[in-house]
Structure 1
Amino acid sequence: MSTISMRKSTLVAVAVAVAGTMALTGCKNGNEDPVPAQPTTSAPGGAPASPSAAASPSTGGSEASAGAAGTAKSGQAFKLGETATVPFDYGSNKGGTIALTVTTVEQGNPADLDSLNLGDKVKGMVPYYVRYTVKNVGTTDLSYSTVGHIKGLFPDGTEAQGVSVIGKFEKCKGDSLPKGFTNGQTQEGCAIALAPSAQTKVSGAQYWGSPYNSLSKGNPLTWK
């Protein structure tokens, strides 16, 4: 899932997220010191194993249930390019509805990861870029919200390892929603997924934001 910062400067920090981790980095104010890359792990059942794996901010507001009012059902499967209508909640007053479309899964070059300075943590791995669009189809202004919780999937349905980036990574941009993101507004996003070798491909994606996660007793939406 692509974790996004609102800052407009160059890349300042990266964290490798092990498959199964539910980690989310909030918006930054642009004055932070660089933070070194930190691997994150998860406890059995997908709960964060340490304080370094931050909890999702989508816990309040007017969150709807999966399948309500024409939204996607828990665990529903889509083809790449198809759109899921999703209840979306970001913080205590950001409840709304978005149309989420995973458009493509593109293979990158291992050299793309060099600028992230992750060293042996990604040695031999191949990056894939899960590209998606977000459209506000509700009545709430979702300015500055972050639509993360997107992971790559291997052909057998298992999750690919992800990379959370604070700052800018030109190969896979994933900015916060801009000011004035009201009904009808659309923005493109991207999440990084890692394959362990060139022989293993990332071919799909999943969205596991609430209410499509185990904490909400739901199942992720998938695109293949």
Structure 2
Amino acid sequence: MSSISMRKTTLAAAGLAVASSLILTGCKDGNEEVPAAPAAPSAQASQPGGYATPPAGAPSSPAAGGYDGASGAPAGGSGAVAKSGQAFKIGEAATVPFTSGSKSGQLALTVTSIEAGSPADLTSLNVADKVKGKTPFYIHYTAKNTGTTDLSFASVGHMKGLLDGGSESDTLLIAGKFEKCPSESLPKGFTNGQSQTSCAIALAPTGTKVTGAEYWGDPYNNLNNPPQKGITWK
């Protein structure tokens, strides 16, 4: 086989592997997807925007220590940008950098409750093979625009469940409406001060519970040195 043919074969195999990964795992390890979700944000996600100018001497990277997008307050104060791996209580707001495609800004995310559902809730979705032996838990959260950019039609997502033992739950992604756990893109005119409620479906093996939630959107999902961790609520 010529070197050109070998290269084409290698590229084709790599493309197939990527496509299969999206179908089988959804947004992260162990997740289920119905159907395949949109592609992940581009490399622009590593450069979040929409912040007020930080004061002199403030850290340049929100994930490395951060500053408040509205007041420029250093991390650790009220409203400071959440640090990698930081833990919050359910009902407590976390200020995070936000990116979705070409849009970037800042949000205050709050996990408001985690509600146990029933396997029967998912009957109409025709996903019995994917959820067999699992119970759905609904993670309810709000997103408030605390930055300076219009985030109309952006998709928040990147919220997953944590089992009572601390490990990650599976996540069920749904294309379309699901009344038990509605999740839609941010509405038109989503500017500073606007907020929206949303929901994520976490799947727990029968006999276990989802007792926490984790947001792992950029920059809390990168593998830079040091690697960044998601922020959690319990």
TM beyond 0.5: yes
The 3 A distance-change label for structure 1 pair 128 and 17 is farther
Unaligned runs of 5+ in 2: 1-22, 49-60, 68-79
Structure 1 residue matching 2:144: 3-state secondary structure: strand
> Distance in 1 between the 2:174 and 2:37 partners?
14
Q: Does 1:129 align with 2:138?
A: yes
Q: Contact 1:59–1:90 (CA<8 Å) still a contact in 2?
A: no
1:82 has 2:106 as partner: no
Give the aligned partner of residue 62 of structure 2.
65
**For structure 1, which segment, 65-74 or 78-87, has the greater mean C-alpha deviation from structure 2 after superposition?**
65-74
The answer to whether the Cα contact below 8 Å between 2:111 and 2:142 also exists between their aligned partners in 1 is yes
Which residue of 164, 167, 174 maps to 2:173? 164
Shift of residue 120, structure 1, vs aligned partner: 2.3
Change (3 A) 1:23 1:179: farther
Higher relative contact order (CA 8 A, sep 6+): 1
Structure number, greater radius of gyration: 2
Do the aligned partners of 2:37 and 2:173 also contact (CA within 8 Å) in 1? no
Superposition deviation, residue 17 in structure 1: 4.2
Aligned-residue offset at 1:215: 3.6
Residue in 1 that maps onto 2:230: 220
| Contact 1:90-1:146 at 8 Å conserved across structures | yes
Give the TM-score normalised by structure 2. 0.72
Give the conservation status (yes or no) of the 8 Å contact 1:103–1:133: yes
Alignment size in residue pairs? 184
Contact 1:17 1:161 in 2 (8 A): no
Q: Over aligned residues, Cα RMSD in angstroms?
A: 2.4
Higher helix proportion: 2
Cα pair distance change 1:223/1:21, threshold 3 Å: same
In 2, Cα distance between equivalents of 1:214 and 1:24: 21
The reply to whether residue 96 of structure 1 matches residue 92 of structure 2 is no
CA pair 145-23 structure 1, distance change in 2 beyond 3 A: farther
State the match for 1:194 in structure 2.
Answer: 203
The separation in 1 between residues aligned to 2:94 and 2:24, in whole angstroms, is 27
The alignment status of 1:140 with 2:149, answered yes or no, reads: yes
SS of equivalent residue, structure 1 residue 68: coil
The secondary structure found in structure 2 opposite 1:89 is: strand
